[in-house]
Structure 1
Amino acid sequence: MKPGLLRTALNIVALAATLFMNWLAIALPLNGKDTGQLSDQYPILTVPAGYAFSIWSLIYTGLIGFAVYQALPSQRANPRIGRITPLFLLSCLANIGWILTWHYEILSINILCMLALLGALIGIYARLRAGDERPGTAERWLVWVPFSLYMGWITVATIVNVTVVLYAAGWQDTGTVGAALAALLFVVAAVIATTIARRFSDPAYALVIVWALVAVAIKHAAVPLVANTAWAMAAVIALVVAYTLIAMLRGGFGRDERARAL
Structure 2
Amino acid sequence: MTHDTVLDSGRHAPHSDRMRQLLVALGAVVAVVGSFIGSGAAGGTPIAQAAGGALSADATLIAPAGGAFSIWSVIYLGLVGYAVWQFLPAQRADDRQRRLGYPVLLTLVLNAAWILSVQAGLLALSAVVILLLLVALCWAYGRAIATRGLGRRSVLGTLLVDGALGLYLGWVSIATAANITSFLQFSGFEGFGWSPEAWAIAILGVAGLVGVLVAVWSSGSVAPMLSLAWGLVWIDVSRVSGALSSRPVAMAALVAAAVVVVATIAVRIAAVRRERADAPR
Within 5 A, what are the aligned runs for 1:93-242? 93-130=109-146, 133=149, 136-137=153-154, 138-171=156-189, 177-200=195-218, 201-221=220-240, 222-242=245-265
| Max Rg structure | 2
Secondary structure of 2:133's counterpart equals helix
The letter for the 2-side match of 1:107 is: L
How far the C-alpha of 1:127 sits from its partner, in A, is 1.5
How far the C-alpha of 1:198 sits from its partner, in A, is 3.1
How far the C-alpha of 1:228 sits from its partner, in A, is 0.9
CA distance in 2, matches of 1:154, 1:40: 16
Secondary structure of 1:252's counterpart equals helix
CA distance in 2, matches of 1:63, 1:255: 32
Hey, what does 1:79 align to over in structure 2? 95
Cα deviation code 1:33-82 (max 9, x no counterpart):
31122323862100001000000001011111211221121111112211
Hey, what does 2:27 align to over in structure 1? 14
How far the C-alpha of 1:256 sits from its partner, in A, is 10
CA distance in 2, matches of 1:123, 1:199: 12
The alignment covers a number of residue pairs equal to 252
How far the C-alpha of 1:245 sits from its partner, in A, is 4.5
Secondary structure of 2:188's counterpart equals coil
How far the C-alpha of 1:252 sits from its partner, in A, is 2.1
CA distance in 1, matches of 2:86, 2:164: 13
How far the C-alpha of 1:3 sits from its partner, in A, is 2.3
Do the aligned residues in 2 keep the contact of 1:121 with 1:147 (CA within 8 Å)? Answer: yes
Hey, what does 1:35 align to over in structure 2? 47
Do the aligned residues in 2 keep the contact of 1:132 with 1:255 (CA within 8 Å)? Answer: no
Do the aligned residues in 2 keep the contact of 1:216 with 1:227 (CA within 8 Å)? Answer: yes
CA distance in 2, matches of 1:256, 1:2: 43
Structure 1 alignment gaps of length 5 or more: 258-262
Do the aligned residues in 2 keep the contact of 1:152 with 1:209 (CA within 8 Å)? Answer: yes
CA distance in 2, matches of 1:34, 1:132: 37
How far the C-alpha of 1:242 sits from its partner, in A, is 3.2
How far the C-alpha of 1:121 sits from its partner, in A, is 0.8
Within 5 A, what are the aligned runs for 1:21-60? 21-26=34-39, 27-30=41-44, 33-37=45-49, 38=53, 39-40=55-56, 43-60=59-76
Hey, what does 1:260 align to over in structure 2? none
Do the aligned residues in 2 keep the contact of 1:25 with 1:34 (CA within 8 Å)? Answer: yes
Residues 104 and 209 (structure 1 numbering): CA distance in 2 closer, same or farther, change over 3 Å? same
Q: CA RMSD in A?
A: 2.4
Residues 4 and 108 (structure 1 numbering): CA distance in 2 closer, same or farther, change over 3 Å? same
Residues 169 and 42 (structure 1 numbering): CA distance in 2 closer, same or farther, change over 3 Å? farther
State the TM-score, normalizing by the size of structure 2: 0.82
Secondary structure of 2:23's counterpart equals helix
The letter for the 1-side match of 2:126 is: N
State the TM-score, normalizing by the size of structure 1: 0.87
